[in-house]
Amino acid sequence: MESCVRVLPASPQSSDGRPPCPVSPFDDFQHLPKYQVLVCKRHGYAVPNLQTHLATYHRDPIRVRRTVVAHFAQVELVAPELARLPAPYGPPIAGLSASRRGYRCTDEGGCPYVTTCRKEIAKHCNQAHGWRSRGGDRMYWDEVRKQSFSTTPGRQRWFIVRGQSEAVVVEVRRGEELSDVDEILQEFAELDAQHRKTLEKADEP
């Protein structure tokens, strides 16, 4: 079960609608024992090193920072990029940054590939699964919502969460969406042509 450490009851929401300020030095952090991570709710990600994070990004006095570090000293944590991932299509994890749009490979073999970039999903489907931009062959990825425990480039491991666009298949639509799909297919056709030229050169004596 997810746990959020609070020492005092939360203060009411401010008159201008902004979230209330933390009421204790622990209120910024949420321990997720199931995944063995400690999420900084102020910054929206799991911290790899609490002491360094506090010293770098929080302006609390050193006495307060030491108290926070001591409070979580016995908590068993792993590096955010190594944490166990939640099952797909679960609820978004509170405390992490809001879910972002992404693309999930729908290959029948159960490929787990997820990315934020349409060009990358098209490239992946081509190189990993031999997808080609044929007229009726356009349903090779889904649009999803995703989160990550880490925000460090190269260390992000995305997991899919529920959202309004939970499983919107990229397909031919009218208006702007049709133009959007055609743009993807055009970009993919160029990648496919480059890939074919590379293979032809490799076959040359």
Residue 14 sits in which domain range?
A: 3-82
Q: What is the pLDDT of residues 75-115, one digit of tens each?
A: 999 999 999 999 989 999 999 999 998 888 887 778 888 88
Q: How far apart are CA 6 and CA 166, in angstroms?
A: 32
Distance of CA 190 to the CA centre of its chain: 28
Mean pLDDT in residue range 1-14: 38
Task: Give me the chain's average pLDDT, please.
Answer: 75
Amino acid found at 88: P
- Residue 53 in any domain: the answer is yes
Tokens representing 39 are 């999420």
Q: What is the pLDDT of residue 185?
A: 54
Domain tally for the chain?
2
Instruction: Tell me the whole-structure pTM to 2 decimals.
Output: 0.63
Among residues 26, 53, 82, which one ends one of the domains? Answer: 82
